């Protein structure tokens, strides 16, 4: 009797097609994530749960709700702030990365004013600290 042996068919799975699909999905999500904007943030800046106070730094910029800027205890105009901070950082005779500017913004200050000071600090390549009040336990 002539019995034929069945030939076993080995199932093969090509990963090339799956890799292509995953790569296309990755590209899709990377491209679309750049177009997502968060325009509706309601920011409440000056409160924090951190309880560790920081050491005072010689460079502190305070911003009032009225739009007044203070460098230390002295009033300074918005236009003169960058030049004055640059000269103070240079006067420290240190590496700019070791200088820290403390920003104390009153509650209700427009975020644009805080970003203006942060942008100056970024241009000067110095560190910044946003000073906040500690949250009370009952809040």
Task: Report strand pairing: 47-48 vs 69-71.
Answer: unpaired
Alpha-carbon span 16 to 102, nearest angstrom:
54
pTM score? 0.56
Alpha-carbon span 9 to 68, nearest angstrom:
81
Q: Which residues pair with 101 in a beta bridge?
A: 59, 128
Alpha-carbon span 1 to 23, nearest angstrom:
54
Q: What pLDDT is attached to residue 93?
A: 63
3-state secondary structure 75-88: EECHHHHHHHHHHH
For the chain, the domains span 47-134
Alpha-carbon span 126 to 89, nearest angstrom:
8
Residue 86 pLDDT exceeds 90: no
Tell me the pLDDT of the chain averaged across its residues.
76
At 32-74, the pLDDT tens digits run 776 655 444 344 445 555 555 555 557 888 888 888 888 888 8
Q: What pLDDT is attached to residue 39?
A: 44
Q: What pLDDT is attached to residue 38?
A: 47
Q: What pLDDT is attached to residue 46?
A: 53
CATH 3.40.50.1000 fits 47-134, yes or no: no
* C-alpha distance across the termini of the chain, in Å: 92
3-state secondary structure of 54: coil
What's the rounded mean pLDDT across residues 97-126?
Answer: 85
Within 8 A by CB and 6+ apart from 108, the residues are 65
Concatenated DSSP letters for 36-57?
Answer: ----------SEE----PPPP-
* pLDDT band at 24; cut points 50, 70, 90: very high
């Amino acid at each position: 009797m002539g019995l034929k042996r069945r030939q076993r068919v080995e199932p093969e799975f090509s990963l090339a097609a799956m890799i292509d699909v995953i790569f296309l999905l990755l590209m899709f999500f990377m491209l679309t994530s750049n177009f997502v904007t968060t325009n509706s943030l309601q920011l409440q800046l000056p409160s924090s749960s951190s309880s560790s106070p920081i050491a005072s730094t010689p460079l502190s910029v305070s911003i009032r709700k009225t739009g007044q800027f203070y460098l230390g205890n002295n009033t300074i105009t918005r236009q003169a702030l960058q030049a004055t901070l640059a000269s103070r950082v240079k006067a420290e005779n240190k590496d700019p990365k070791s200088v820290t500017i403390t920003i104390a913004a009153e509650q209700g200050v427009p975020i644009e004013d805080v970003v203006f000071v942060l942008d100056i600090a970024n241009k000067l390549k110095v560190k910044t600290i946003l000073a906040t009040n500690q949250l009370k336990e009952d809040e």
